[in-house]
């Protein structure tokens, strides 16, 4: 909430829309604001970051496509520069624009590539890659307040939900008695430490599996590319063989016979051959 410098009335922002609160509604505004503890801002996971790359599958070869997909695993500044050069050498505008957009905004690549982030490895690994925690809190709030509310209804129901939480916090700070005795800073830090360690361990294991999988995918793609080249070469050699030997598939082409048979089994001479024989008989010299 801020004060409007022109009228000294408080202004609240909802969904980027500034709403001026009239004096008669000031009593509806909660007297205190409770900032709930939340998880660190979620970082996009590798699957989300790779999704746009799927549009390039038909534009490049299999090895190049696999390399584009694995851009999130760039491990150094040198690798970053090599990848940028690789994108330039492809000469495909759609891919070039995709990568330049990320380099144009200096915050995008550090959010997607671990090695380029200012965060430490432990903090990166312990930061969730989804907003599930915040989404769950949002869903819980909706169950308490309802949805599709007007501004005044939202203020009133939000106050009714937050007021008991504020009272509980205030009482704990005044008396030193927590509603949950295992919720002191020591307990929270211990649980957070265990959770971060487990997340870091799982992230390292997942990274090892991802690295091995990426290497195997590259080998498979190279093998398929080599197989396609071999099949094309084999087809080309077979065509050359047919031209040289006059055969089709290694078999000589049989000539058409001059005799045919009717449905009754009686053998009759080919009409074209019979005509040529008759002409030859007529033109034969006498004597």
Q: How far apart are alpha carbons 7 and 9 in whole angstroms?
A: 5
**Lowest mean pLDDT: which of 2-6, 32-36, 143-147, 275-279?**
32-36
Closest by CA position to 25, among listed 152, 148, 158: 152
**b/e code 87-115 from CB counts within 10 Å (16+ = b):** beebeeeebeebbeebeeeeeebeebbbb
Q: Give the DSSP letter of residue 131.
A: -
Phi, psi of 17 (to 5 degrees): -110, 120
Helix axes 77-90, 93-104, angle to 10 degrees: 150
Q: Is residue 70 classed exposed, middle or buried when 0-12, 13-18 and 19+ CB atoms within 10 A define those classes?
A: buried
Higher-pLDDT residue of 276 and 197 is 197
Residue with tokens 């001479």: 269
| Domain coordinates in residue numbering, the chain | 46-120
pLDDT value at residue 22 = 44
pLDDT digits (tens, 9 = 90+) for 117-161: 998 888 888 777 777 777 887 888 888 889 999 999 989 998 998
Predicted TM-score (pTM) of this structure: 0.39
Could you tell me how many helices (H) and strands (E) the chain has, helices first?
10, 7
Helix axes 62-69, 77-90, angle to 10 degrees: 140
Q: How far apart are alpha carbons 2 and 18 in whole angstroms?
A: 10
pLDDT digits (tens, 9 = 90+) for 42-67: 455 556 777 888 889 899 999 999 99
CB of 99 closer than 8 Å to CB of 84: yes
Question: What's the token pair of residue 81?
Answer: 């520069």
Instruction: Say whether pLDDT at 170 is over 70.
Output: yes
- Chain-centroid distance, C-alpha 21: 43
CA distances (Å), 284 to each of 220, 269, 279, 281, in order?
A: 74, 21, 9, 5
Q: Tell me the torsion sign for CA atoms 75, 81, 82, 88.
A: positive
pLDDT band at 265 (very low <50, low <70, confident <90, very high): low
Higher-pLDDT residue of 201 and 268 is 201
One-letter-per-residue 3-state SS of 44-63: CCHHHHHHHHHHHCCCCCHH
The answer for residues whose C-beta is within 8 angstroms of residue 250's C-beta and 6 or more apart is: 241
pLDDT band at 260 (very low <50, low <70, confident <90, very high): low
Phi, psi of 12 (to 5 degrees): -115, 150
Phi, psi of 53 (to 5 degrees): -70, -25
Closest by CA position to 138, among listed 61, 36, 280: 36
pLDDT value at residue 34 = 32
Phi, psi of 272 (to 5 degrees): -65, -40
């Amino acid at each position: 909430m801020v004060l409007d410098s022109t009228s000294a009335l408080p202004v609240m922002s909802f969904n980027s829309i500034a709403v001026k609160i009239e004096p008669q509604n000031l009593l509806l505004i909660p007297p205190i604001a409770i900032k709930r503890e939340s998880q660190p801002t979620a970082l996009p996971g590798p699957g989300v970051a790779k999704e746009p790359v799927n549009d390039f599958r038909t534009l490049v070869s299999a090895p190049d496509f696999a390399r584009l997909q694995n851009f999130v695993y760039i491990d150094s500044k040198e690798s970053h520069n090599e990848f940028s050069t690789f994108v330039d050498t492809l000469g495909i505008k759609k891919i070039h624009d995709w990568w330049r957009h990320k380099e144009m905004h200096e915050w995008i690549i550090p959010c997607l590539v671990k090695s380029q982030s200012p965060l430490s490895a432990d903090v990166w690994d312990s930061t969730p890659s989804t907003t599930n925690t915040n989404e769950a809190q949002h869903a819980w709030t909706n169950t308490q307040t309802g949805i599709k509310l007007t501004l005044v209804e939202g203020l009133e129901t939000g106050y009714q939900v937050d007021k008991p939480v504020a009272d509980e916090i205030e009482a704990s700070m005044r008396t030193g008695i927590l509603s949950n005795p295992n919720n002191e800073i020591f307990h929270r830090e211990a649980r957070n430490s265990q959770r971060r360690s487990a997340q870091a361990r799982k992230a390292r294991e997942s990274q090892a599996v991802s690295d091995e999988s990426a290497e195997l995918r590259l080998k498979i793609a190279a093998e398929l590319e080599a197989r396609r080249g071999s099949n094309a070469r084999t087809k080309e050699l077979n065509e050359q063989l047919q031209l040289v030997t006059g055969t089709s598939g290694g078999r000589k082409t049989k000539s058409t016979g001059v005799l045919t048979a009717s449905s009754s089994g009686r053998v009759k001479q080919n009409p074209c051959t019979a005509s040529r024989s008759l002409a030859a008989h007529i033109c034969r010299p006498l004597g």
